[in-house]
Amino acid sequence: MHFVKGLLNVLVLQPLLLQLCSSLDTIKFVQPVRDGDFLVSKNETFVLGFFRPKISTNRYVGIWYKFSEDMVVWVANRDNPINSSSGVLSIGSDGNLVLQVNTSQGLLPLWSTNVSISSASNDKIFAQILDSGNLVLAQQGSQDVFWQSTDHPTNILLQNIKMGGIHRFLTSWNSENDPGTGNVSLRIDPNGSPQMILYNIEAKLWRSGQWNEIKWSGTPAAQPKDVFKINFVNNKDEITYQWTVLDPSVHSVYIIDGSRTFKLLVWQGQKHQWDLLWLAPLDACDSYGKWGKFGNCNPTINGFNCTCYPGYEPISPQDWDLKDGRGGCKRQQGSRSMCRNGDGFVKMENVKVPDTSSIKLEKNLSLEACKDECLKNCTCLAYAIEDVTNRGTGCMTWYKDLMDTKQLTEGGQDLYVRADAVVLAQYKNKSGGGYFSRKRRLAIILVVSISVASLLILAVLCWFRKMSMKGRGGQPKFLNDPAAPGVRSYEDLPIKDEVDEHRGETDLPLFDLTTVGCLAHGQEIAVKRLSRNSRQGIDEFKNEVMLIAKLQHRNVVRLLGFCIHKEERMLIYEYMPNRSLDLWIFRKNGNSLLDWRKRFQIIIGIARGLLYLHQDSRLKIIHRDLKASNVLLDGSMNPKISDFGIARMFGDDQIEANTNKVVGTYGYMSPEYAMNGLYSTKSDVFSFGVLALEIISGRKNSFQFENSSLNLVGIVNMGLVDRRKSLEHN
């Protein structure tokens, strides 16, 4: 919205500024506010006045942010617009704040605070706009507030303002240019265990889930305690929700906007805009009732997300096939009675528990007591805990159709669903109490049988290969690079076979792609992903798997496993929280981060790792690419040599090798390797020397062939020459 500004600026704002300076924030009996006048709160955060939406001729009395006129936080006459600029806001003779229009027929009332004020004489009554954004009607010399705008919010919930109760709910604007009462509202539903519910007229669009003493249970993440302060009161006098951002300089609002969503916005002063922090509904699974009763919506399943509760099946399989889940689910055909007949509960883990508005709530019961409570009443269909703090208290039991369950990936709760003895047995032995619809069960059976079949085929293939190799003398392929005797190469073998063949030898687990996404125990890992279709990458991959799998040393990074999936190739390493050495030594101000003792320990560690590679391990390995970025640091800053992509294995008695493919990093390469392709353990020692200089000096050894005085090695060299000269002189 823009306000009639061009003219106003010139004609009105000039005299108004004088008023602002005297910080006018109150309306008194003798001092009405006319269209064009503004009241400004003490610290100049909020403004009250007349405004006109961008595309509209109607005028309204509203409150907005002084720094962001478009953010109108409250509107008085939202359903009674003024069609001229002759509105007057004043204290009426009955003490109420009234909005009138000055017409030729006199003053016509449009809006009033409409409270009964008995005791006061109206020249003592005033209306004041506060720094909180609240407009209050009060009496001088008294604490009583007769009326306040925050008890009648429009579409915005400001910080530190209570929501809940009969009038204190949010309603959308009709449209962007019409603040009239819209169809979408956000209310606290006090029934059962209270929830915030977003309605379109009376139809539920979204619900927050019950307040579980940490957060609204259906929202994935709690608002962090160090940023937000939340106050949810639930007692017999009131059920209210109040929030604020702890940092008083942050301006933030909850708003229902035209898109039927409920949003949390925060003001970005520098960018001069409101940024979105959070919104609901978040995804398709957040829409209320999209999958009917006893249905669960799982946003991690692509496509059709509806599943039925354990022991339930779609009411209309046809609709289900047409990807319409609204019909919901019913008990499976031929189910057994669930009344003292060996029935029990199946746990649905990590869900947004169903609508709590028609539950029975018993505040003080524990989870165990809640189970008994539900079990003993045969109409009880499910139970869950209301308050998740202190190991869980508050027993919520459901008796009617359970609506609006969503599978969450984090921050959900456990729902215990009543199931008959047969279903119970099906789920009993499943680890984690997982539950599957019939379709998924079928899918799992399929996947399992396919994998078993392919394993068999693979085994047969491997057996044939072994047999054929025996025919060739039983030797694995070796030494087909004549220039590099003893260097293993696997050029013409399909990689999968190769890796399989050597798995027995390496004991290295082969992960599948989904496991890489989610490793057991939430173990942190580092993944090196090779670019697709790169032949070079594949060779390096093979090389790295072969070599590093056989190495184990505290200064050599450990490979946990690898993953091959179509074109995707990944190496899975232990996770190194301190990342790579170059980030520490070349960083500006980095000197202060690493003291001498640490640096020395790092150099020693690298030396140990290198010694291991060169002579102490089972193999003799030339790394060929030792540099700062290939040294990783673990939690206690122990260095670990990584990246064996171009490393080479030497025979025991082999001293050096030659290659016409010089790979590595200039700046760390020994001259004979860089120029003649000759490499040996000495090349690594050269690189180690450069690295040691870098660690000591904190400077990068830039690569300069022509002018070696500019690089680190050159400088050190010159220093040595100078020193020798001076020694000779003396």
Answer yes or no: are the C-beta atoms of 63 and 74 closer than 8 Å.
yes
Instruction: Pick the closer one to ligand NAG by CB: 147 or 511.
Output: 147
Q: Is 567 exposed, middle or buried (0-12, 13-18, 19+ CB in 10 A)?
A: exposed
Nearer to ligand NAG, 178 or 540 (CB): 178
Residue among 407, 441, 433, 410 at smallest CA distance from 297: 407
Q: Is 510 helix (H, G, I), strand (E, B) or coil?
A: strand
> Looking at beta carbons only, is 23 or 709 nearer to ligand NAG?
23
Distance CA 580, CA 627 (A): 10
Supply the minimum distance, in Å, between the C-beta of residue 407 and ligand NAG: 10
CB of 341 to ligand NAG, least distance (A): 16
Smallest gap from Cβ 425 to ligand NAG, in A, equals: 4
Please provide the DSSP assignment of 35-103 as one string.
BTBEEE-TTS-EEEEEE--TT-S-BEEEEEETTEEEEEEEESSTTS-BSSS-EEEEE-TTS-EEEEEEE
- Cα–Cα dist 332/424, whole Å: 13
Residue 295 has which token pair? 């249905």
Sheet of 170-175, strand order:
170-175, 178-189, 195-200, 203-210
- Number of CB atoms found within 10 A of residue 208's CB: 22
State the Cα–Cα distance between residues 150 and 133, nearest whole angstrom.
8
Least distance to ligand NAG from the beta carbon of 251, Å? 7
Give whichever of 212 and 680 is closer to ligand NAG, judged by the CB atom. Answer: 212
Question: Residue 14 or 183: which CB sits closer to ligand NAG?
Answer: 183
What is the smallest separation between the CB atom of 231 and ligand NAG, expressed in angstroms? 16
User: How far lies 368's CA from each of 379, 396, 597, in Å?
Assistant: 18, 12, 56
Which residues contact ligand NAG (rule: CB under 6 A)? 43, 45, 83, 88, 101-102, 107, 112, 114, 131-132, 174, 182-183, 201, 248-249, 283-285, 299, 304-305, 323, 360, 363-364, 377, 379, 399, 425, 429
CA distance 631 to 325: 53
**SS3 assignment for 133-163:** CCEEEEECCCCCEEEEHHHCCCCEECCCCCE
Report in angstroms the alpha-carbon separations of 409 from 284, 386, 392, 516. Answer: 15, 19, 20, 17
DSSP 354: -
DSSP string of 452-473? HHHHHHHHHHHHHHHHHHHHTT
Residues 6+ apart with CB under 8 A from 143: none
Nearer to ligand NAG, 306 or 348 (CB): 306
* Beta carbon of residue 456, minimum distance to ligand NAG (angstroms, whole number): 25
User: Cβ of residue 593: shortest distance to ligand NAG, in angstroms?
Assistant: 37
Min dist. Cβ of residue 401 to ligand NAG (A):
14
State in angstroms the smallest separation of the CB of 206 from ligand NAG.
14
- Whether 625 sits among the annotated catalytic residues: the reply is yes
Please state the closest distance from residue 163 (CB atom) to ligand NAG, in A.
18
Pick the closest to residue 138 from 44, 28, 20 (CA basis).
28
Q: Which helix (H) or strand (E) holds 516?
A: helix 513-517
423 or 557: whose CB is closer to ligand NAG? 423
Q: How far is the CB of 485 from ligand NAG (least distance, A)?
A: 56
- Residue of 80, 86, 83 whose CA lies nearest to 104: 86
Tokens linked to 219: 């929202």
Cα angle value 678/680/683 (rounded, 5°): 85
For residue 599, report the phi and psi dihedrals to the nearest 5 degrees: -60, -45
Residues 6 or more apart whose CB falls under 8 angstroms from that of 455 comprise none
Residue number, 159 or 217, with CB nearest to ligand NAG: 159
* 509 contacts 558 by C-beta, under 8 angstroms: no
Structure-block tokens of residue 486: 């003893």
Contacts of 166 (CB under 8 A, 6+ apart): none
Among 178, 355, 404, 625, the active-site one is 625
SS3 label, residue 232 = strand
Question: Closest separation between CB of residue 213 and ligand NAG, Å?
Answer: 14
Separation of first and last alpha carbons in the chain? 86
Residue 39 or 545 having the CB closest to ligand NAG: 39
Residues 6+ apart with CB under 8 A from 346: 310, 311, 416, 417, 419, 423, 424, 427, 433, 435
Nearer to ligand NAG, 45 or 708 (CB): 45
Strands (E), 286-421: 295-297, 306-308, 312-314, 329-331, 344-352, 360-366, 382-387, 393-398, 405-407, 413-419
Contacts of 454 (CB under 8 A, 6+ apart): none
Report, in Å, the least distance between residue 404 CB and ligand NAG.
Answer: 13
**Between 285 and 549, whose beta carbon lies closer to ligand NAG?**
285
Which of the residues are catalytic? 625
